[in-house]
A = this chain, B = another copy of it.
């Protein structure tokens, strides 16, 4: 495989369907950030052990979904049907509902950290939110699959729930932000 094609050396690149755009185009930056998030999920999976097998395979399913999101965002509107359907949102909501019940109820912000995997899940949560900003900007400027925007909004809550689950299951203490008031209700 000839990996590099030198076509991108002068600052341009292509979308799906061969449309040429500059590499600092907001659309490219947006699916590039989903690629960053996807890679960070890969790092998380690589740190999980055997007993986490169910969560592990769920995170790999999520990686495929992130590719689906990336494909939709890399497609200039109308050129082909979108891959991410509202079923993806329903699925992630169900997962959040289940996971949010498992650890003890909290009222204050959690200090991100704890178990190494939980800590990385918090980090992924914040990278998800960085991607979300870009999606919001992109959506203002161009037509996109808005299901992707909703899915990514839900995704950061999912990763928060998962971080708490991991700490809870591993028995790692979860310190709360002590100088803050009640924020969760």
Inter-chain contact A122/B184, CB cutoff 8 Å: no
Given contacts A11-B139, A42-B112, contact A67 B179 (CB under 8 A): yes
- A1, chain B: closest CB distance, angstroms: 5
Chain A interfacial positions (CB closer than 8 Å to B): 1-4, 8-9, 11, 22-24, 28-29, 32-33, 35-36, 38-43, 45-47, 60, 63-64, 67-68, 71, 83, 93, 96, 100, 105-106, 109, 111-116, 118-120, 122-123, 125-127, 129-130, 132-134, 136-137, 139-140, 149-150, 153-154, 157, 160-161, 175, 177-180, 184-185
Chain A's interface: helix, strand, loop or mixed, by majority? Answer: helix
Q: How many copies does the complex hold?
A: 3
Contact of A11 among B8, B28, B36, B149 (CB under 8 A): B149
Inter-chain contact A42/B122, CB cutoff 8 Å: yes
Inter-chain contact B113/A46, CB cutoff 8 Å: yes
